Amino acid sequence: MVTENLDRAYTENLLAGNRRVCRAIIHQALAQGAQPADLYENLLWTAMEHVERLWKDDRINKATEQLATRINRMIADQLQALLATVPANGKKALLLCAPHEQEELGAQMICDMLEARGWEIYFLGGGVPDDEVLMLVGLHRPDVLIVYGTRPEDTAAIRGLIDNIRHVDPCPEMNVMLAGGIFARTDGLWNEVKADLFANDLRETLEIITTAEPRDPNAQSQTVRRRRRRRPVMEVVGAVI
């Protein structure tokens, strides 16, 4: 279990840029019986969110944010090899994220945890053109496309991507899941951009994606028609941008 003292010690040294100490904290936790998956979900992910909040609230500068993020990613890279794995389950996921280090880290951690649970993962990161995303969807036919950590200025682009996916329809039963980012801070926005699934964080992503049924194209089209009668949440986001 991740204790409050462990969380505090790790986060403090993360913000101070102490790579050696952060590694030592993780090694000690593992030696005392901590499970890599538990450290992923309840230490690294929590620390990532804390750093992000401090940065958004102007309580730390860019240098501190980048130092902490890169150390956290280094630790994630090392822990990934220690995650307990299960045989392949035949499920596939394609992951995108905002083109920033913080979002790359969150998306990578989702990838690592899903892969340990038997999923086949294709991680694109950010900045990939829509037509190339569509090409890969058609090529690999994933069960879900996950977009993690969208920032407010990229919301319209995500809506355009989903519209393109549904128009071209290369994989009709593929769910589109949005996780974290602006969608975690604006109620109902994931519905407005016509996504199928939504999760706030790593734990919710793993829980929801494990039990999600294949998308029903007919049911989705009916839901979209009903949603269009409501006042668009996108108007609120546009005003903020």
Closest CA to 114 of 210, 180, 201, 197: 210
Lowest mean pLDDT among 18-22, 59-63, 214-218: 214-218
Cα 95 to Cα 124: distance, rounded to the nearest angstrom: 6
CA of 169: how far to CAs of 89, 152, 174, in Å?
A: 24, 26, 9
Distance CA 78, CA 72 (A): 10
Distances (CA, A) of 39 to 113, 159, 200: 11, 34, 18
Q: Kindly indicate the confidence band of residue 56, based on its pLDDT and cuts at 50, 70 and 90.
A: very high
Rounded Cα–Cα distance for residues 68 and 97 (Å) = 19
Q: What rounded mean pLDDT belongs to the chain?
A: 90
Q: What is the pLDDT of residues 82-106, one digit of tens each?
A: 999 999 999 999 999 998 899 999 9
Q: What is the reported pTM? A: 0.88
- pLDDT category of residue 218 using cuts at 50, 70 and 90: confident
* pLDDT grade for 219, boundaries at 50, 70 and 90: low
How would residue 59 be classed by pLDDT, with cut points 50, 70 and 90? very high
* Per-residue pLDDT tens over the stretch 6-16: 999 999 999 99
Query: Hey, what amino acid is at 123?
Result: F
Which residue segments constitute the domains of the chain, with CATH numbers given?
A: 4-80 (1.10.1240.10), 92-240 (3.40.50.280)
What percent of the chain shows pLDDT beyond 90?
86
Q: What is the mean pLDDT of residues 176-203?
A: 95
**Scanning the structure block, which residue is given the tokens 């690999």?**
140
| Cα radius of gyration (the chain) | 19
Quick one: pLDDT band at residue 221, thresholds 50, 70, 90? very low
pLDDT for 104-156, tens place per residue? Answer: 999 999 999 999 999 999 999 999 999 999 999 999 999 999 999 999 999 99
